[in-house]
Amino acid sequence: MSSILTPNERTFGKSGIEVHQTFGVVDASKLKKLMSCPRDFFYTHVLGWQMEGFNINFAFGSAWHSGQEVIQSKGSTAEVVQEAYEAFILKLQQDTGLPLENLTQIHVSKNPETALKGLAEYAAIWKDDPKETMYVEIAGTAPISDDRIFHVKLDTIKRRKNTGKIFSLEHKTTTRFSDSWQEKWQYDFQVGAYDHFLKCLFEPSEVEGVVINGAVFNKNKRQFPRFPIIITPEMWEMWIYEANHWWNYLEMNMRHLYETSPSDRVMVAFPRNSESCSKFGCNHPQLCTMKANPLQRMDTPPFGYCKKFWDPREREKGAVQKGSNVSIAIKKDLTAI
């Protein structure tokens, strides 16, 4: 019998929604979206509606990852920094679709000039040893229960030369370094996923934890804070419980959606989280305030949106295609933790 997330049919029950292959593909990004606002999850991951264009914060962060991939693999020399910058520019152009001359004024603190300075400053501060790097941009799957596979991607897995301990170095960019920004990573669901993957891939006793490799780009200066996140066995167990809790919530809403028709006055599946909207701004204000049942207008994306489904498996394919990267599927008895 198939899961409600992977039905053996073309359309999803009474809803009339076309079934997509990504419904049963779950990662931290999707569950975090569900936690923030179930209705936003519905538009983004069930209908596949994404805003057109690019987000400079995401594009810059992704390009910074490409530069870090070079540094973590090859070291911190001036030649490597230049190679890292070239990787940064290539990725930024791919994600924005803009030529180099148009990228210089793209953002007051996130642009090619600040990136080049930042890569050089970062390399001088941290002097990362490529001999400690085991994998870069590693993607794969790990179990969270006997029948649930969770997709994960880590930036860099390293082993300390002095202790032999293994940790994940995760690159995070921001324009403002604050206590709240630093503290949020301690309880961030995605950081828990990094740690879970490490403890499934290696012996838990070998794993030190996750290290946040921060890069702060603001108008006046750049900072590169680095701080560890240590997750105890009890907190690891709690993360697994929470992951399954939200997976259960996802399945519950998909069952409600399966039984909901476009003719119903209200779509009871994937309710709005108005508290999240009021704090962070709604991604779909023209949709969430107009229709109690969004199924009544789901045929085409609204103006300014396109149809594109987030699929973490694409990152796993990329890991296989890159010679220095690996993609791993893990089997582990979680009752032994």
Structural domain boundaries of the chain? 56-126, 130-240+314-336
- Band the pLDDT of 1: cuts 50, 70, 90: very low
Helices and strands counted in the chain (H then E): 12, 12
pLDDT in tens, 70-125: 999 999 999 999 999 999 999 999 999 998 888 888 888 999 999 999 999 999 99
317 CB contacts (<8 Å, ≥6 apart)? Answer: 327
Percent of the chain topping pLDDT 90: 76
**pLDDT value of position 330:** 59
Q: Write the CA distances from 333 to 143, 193, 274, integer angstroms.
A: 9, 17, 39
Would you state the torsion angle of the CA atoms of residues 149, 57, 249, 277, taken in this order, to the nearest 10 degrees? 180
**pLDDT value of position 106:** 85
Q: Where are the alpha helices (DSSP H) in 7-111?
A: 28-36, 38-41, 56-74, 78-96, 100-103
Q: Is the pLDDT of residue 323 over 80?
A: no
Cβ 166 vs Cβ 208: under 8 Å: yes
Q: Cα separation of 151 and 72, whole Å?
A: 23
Q: Is the pLDDT of residue 335 over 60?
A: no
pLDDT in tens, 187-235: 999 999 999 999 999 999 999 999 999 999 998 789 999 999 999 999 9
Cβ 256 vs Cβ 269: under 8 Å: yes
**Whole-prediction pTM:** 0.92
Q: Is the pLDDT of residue 146 over 60?
A: yes
